[in-house]
Structures are given as structure tokens and as C-alpha cells.
Structure 1
Amino acid sequence: MKKPLQQVQKEYEDFINHLPDYINQLKSYFKTDTFHYGLSEIEQVEKFLKKHKKKSASLGLTPEQLDTMVVAYLGVAWLWHFGGQWFMVKHQSASEYGVPLLAGFGGKEYRGVAINPSGWVSMSRENQLDKPISAIYKNYIWFFENHPQYPLEPIRNIQ
């Protein structure tokens, strides 16, 4: 049974409102004051997730807390590179119901799919991704560099 919309909406709003907190928490594990959201750093965050996915308690975190922190990082990294905005699917019949997603990047003419950092984290946790998450970013970077008709408006408000 899926959670009621009110509960899912509150969880989504809490996630969005606490993005800076999740980023700061992750920075503390990396012993850095600032993230630059480059491909090598994205790769390091994915390695961090894989290293701790079965032993998040060693960090003082539940698996869900670790996932949320990494989802926040990947979403902010997406905004940093490509822009867009967070949104949530409110239709209970949708497979991504209640999941924080990203869309609205690449200008009005771009018809891409919504980006699902939660899905990437889940698939990475289960070793179901056919390529590293950093490679997904690399592919999108290449695409937008080679398709200037899709303008990007990066959002760099969280470091």
C-alpha cells in the first residue's frame, strides 16, 4: 500500500528544505568545506556509497539516511551542471510516486526524461547500473556541449 499523498508531500518538502543539511553532512565525511561537483567528485561520492552501503551504521547512519544524503548530492550536482528544478510525481499509480525528480533543464525545446537520483542510488546499491553514475553525467555533459540549441542554466546555490 502506498503512502497517502499528504505524507509523501511532507517527506518531499522536508527533503527539499534540508538539501543544504544533507550536503553539509556529506561534506563532513569527505572532510571538505566545499563541493565542486566535478566528475571525479561524483565518482568519489558513488564509491563512498558503495563502500558504506552494507555498513552505513559505521558512519552512524541508517541505510536510508546514507541514501538520502547521496541522492541530495547527486541532485545538487545535476542542478550545478544542467539546471532544472526538483519536482514530485503526485499520481499514486506512477512508479515514481513521491520520489524527488529533476526536470526543466535544456530549455523549452528539450524533451528529455526526468532525472531520478533516487533510482540511481537504489540501482547502484543493488549493482544494477551498467555504468557508473559519473558516466551518466559525462554523457549528458557531452550531449549538451554538442547541442547548443538546448541552453543550460546551471543553478549553483549550494556548495
Structure 2
Amino acid sequence: MRIGHGYDVHATTDGDHVMLGGVRIDAPFGLRAHSDGDVALHALCDALLGAAALGDIGRHFPDTEPAWAGASGQKLLRRTVALVRDRGWVAVNADLTLIAERPRIGPHIDAMREGIAAELDLDRRAVNVKATTHEGIGGIGRGEGIAAHAVVLLEAR
């Protein structure tokens, strides 16, 4: 068994929605990113890659590569899961923490869990998503960005 941790953060920018955990959430801003800016799925990709000793998301999906421009977090996650499985690993569970002052994430957690569980081929009960604020501290606390942490446990197939 192996454990992996991932972290991602993106700054806010002009827009009308954010993608978090594969779910589109209306917001008075977007997230600045080369892909869709889904910090939850990007952190999850990093956790999976780290647990499998495959580097990080930037190594596999560099922001200098036009092919990844605007790519969905789900697409990156699917490819990451395939890389991890090719190495002989499968996810056992995943735990994600989203950190944002806004938008309200709570109403979307069940949809995120369902989508992530499907991508990892897990029962929904093996995926946890929680949200917290930064209590007004720092850039995230001022609403200048959104961050996410993810932890996964892998086992050999």
C-alpha cells in the first residue's frame, strides 16, 4: 500500500463559474489556469501520481503544452488513473479538502463525490470531500484564489 498527497491552488480571474471536483459551480469569477483550473481534481491527480512515484501533474500535463489548454480536470484524472493502473496500482480511498471563501461548496459535495468515485472506480463511500474557508486570512481568505488538498491510498492490483 502507498499513500499520496496532492495540493493545488489557482488565482481568481474574470469569469462566471469555477470547476471544482468535476462540478461546474456558478460564481462571480473564474480561476486562472492553463486547463480548467479544477483545483480539486488537480490535487487528486498529484496525490495519485505521488503515491505511484510518477512525479507530478506538471510533468505529465505541462502548462507549456497546447494540447492541455482548457483540458477538463476529468480528462486529466482519467489519464492519471490509467498511468497509475499501468504501474499496477488502484485507489482504495480518497479524501479531499477544498479551501475557499466563495462560492459555497457544500451544496455540491455529493455530486463531486459521485463523479470522483466513478473516475476512480470506487464506491462513493470511499471518497470524501469537505470544504473550509481560510477565515479571511491571506490571499485565499480575501477571495483571491481557491486551493485544495487531496490524500489517496493505493494498493497493488
Q: Which structure's CA Rg is the greater one?
A: 1
Greater relative CO (CA pairs within 8 A, separation 6+): 2
TM over 0.5: no
TM-score by length of structure 1 reads 0.33
Structure in which a larger fraction of residues adopt strand: 2
